[in-house]
Each structure stands twice: as C-alpha cells, then as structure tokens.
Amino acid sequence: MARNWMEELLAAIVAAERQRASSILDEWAAAHSYEAAVAELLTPTLIEFGNRWAAEGHEVSLAQGYVAAKVAEDLLGKVLAHRESTGNTPNVERGTVVLGNVEDDYHPLGRKMVSAFLRMAGWRVHDLGVDVEAAAFVDAAVAEGARVIGASAMMLSTARNVPKLRAELDQRGLSGRIQLAVGGAVFKLRPELVAEFGGDGTAGDALQAPALIEALWAKSCRLFPDAPEAP
C-alpha cells in the first residue's frame, strides 16, 4: 500500500508536532527536492488543513496554527538556503513589497508563505507582522519605496479593516502609485470583497502571489513612472 504523505503531514500538523512534520517533509524532499516539497506536498496539505477545519466548523487552535506556520517557514527557509548555496537565485533584482496582517488579525500562516514565495522570486519583503494599523502599512511603503502593499485578513471581521488602508492611501494621494494586494481565506470564499473593500487584486494562494505582485508593480509603473524609489 502506497504511503500517504499528505495524510501523515496533516496528522502531524493537527497534533501540533513540528519536528515530526518537518521530518516528513525532509524525507519526501530527499527523494524529490525541497522546492517540489513546497508545491506538491506542503501547499496542498495546508489547503486541505484549512478546508477540513472550515467544513467541520472547527477553529484552528493557536498551537496548530503556530506549528503550521513554523513548518512552512522551516521548509521555505531550506529552499532559500539551497538556492543560495548552489547560486540558483533569481537573476532579476526586484523591488520591495510591504506585507502584514491587517489590524486585529493574528493569523500569520498565509502571510509567511506569501513572503517566502516572494523572496524565492527575487522580491525584497518588508514584513510588518500581525495586527498592523493602516498608517503603519503606508508609512513603511513610503519609507521603503514600495509600489505594492500586501494585506492579509483571514476572517470577514478583520477584513473589514482593509477599507481603512484604502482610505489611508486615498488621503495621502497614493492610490494607484501604491497598489493594494489583499489575501486570506475570506477573499477566496468571497472574491467580490476584494473590490468592495478597496483591494487592487488578490491571488488564489501563495504560489500565485509573485505573479500578482509583478502585475500590480507593473501597473504602478505604468500609472506613475516617476514614483520615487527608496535608496
């Protein structure tokens, strides 16, 4: 009987066993690669993790969420370390993207995965963490010369803080110049909220995030070719 790697990994995450989960990924990667482990094992497992809990009406515990985030962070760190050791890094140097969870949102997993995929694609990431107020997002983007802000919100209650970020950009005359990418489970379930809450775009998952950021960055450059860059 074939080994069900995804079920094993899922069980380890549900049990909040970080070391066991990392060992499973290491073992799978030894026969394939760490990059393949991200796309073919970790990402679908985390998607299934979220889907099952949502379907069953359960809320992910702090321990489970923490372990899932750290397992993803550990694996993506290995991918980056391997790329650097072999010189297999992106040959295009991209700009800085500001990321954070919106005010009152404390679910870092999606943001951390997006951050890792962006770094793998050559973007510099300025990560503000969780519970970030609108003004702090914009202050960081201005200071870093970022053309894109990525704001994460898992639930509808916290996604309602995204319009504050849009209002902050509007008030400072930066809308369009600084593009607003939004992400999180609520936007996947209700994509109409992206425009309703003031977002310029979203990605279906972390794998698609680099393409979204590249498209929004290009849009900013077309609209404001003279936008100042941070030194």
CA distance 185 to 38: 19
pTM for this one? Answer: 0.79
Structure confidence at residue 230 (pLDDT) = 43
Q: Under a CB-based contact definition with an 8 Å cutoff, are residues 13 and 22 in contact?
A: no
Q: Under a CB-based contact definition with an 8 Å cutoff, are residues 118 and 68 in contact?
A: no
Q: Which CATH number fits domain 96-223: 3.90.870.20, 2.60.40.420, 3.40.50.720, 3.40.50.280?
A: 3.40.50.280
CA distance 178 to 51: 32
**Tens of each residue's pLDDT in the chain, 231 residues:** 789 999 999 999 989 899 999 999 999 999 998 888 988 998 888 878 777 665 555 566 767 877 887 888 888 888 878 877 777 665 556 899 999 999 999 888 788 888 888 887 889 999 999 999 999 999 999 999 999 999 999 899 999 999 999 999 999 999 999 999 999 989 988 999 999 999 999 998 887 899 999 999 999 999 999 855 543
Structure confidence at residue 94 (pLDDT) = 86
- Closest residue by Cα to residue 34 from 78, 69, 83, 84: 78
CA distance 81 to 163: 37
Q: Residue 18 contacts by C-beta under 8 Å, 6 or more apart in sequence?
A: 67, 70, 71, 74
Asked, colleague to colleague, whether 5-86 and 96-223 share their fold, the answer is: no
CA distance 102 to 97: 15
Q: Where are the domains of the chain?
A: 5-86, 96-223
Q: Which fold has domain 5-86?
A: 1.10.1240
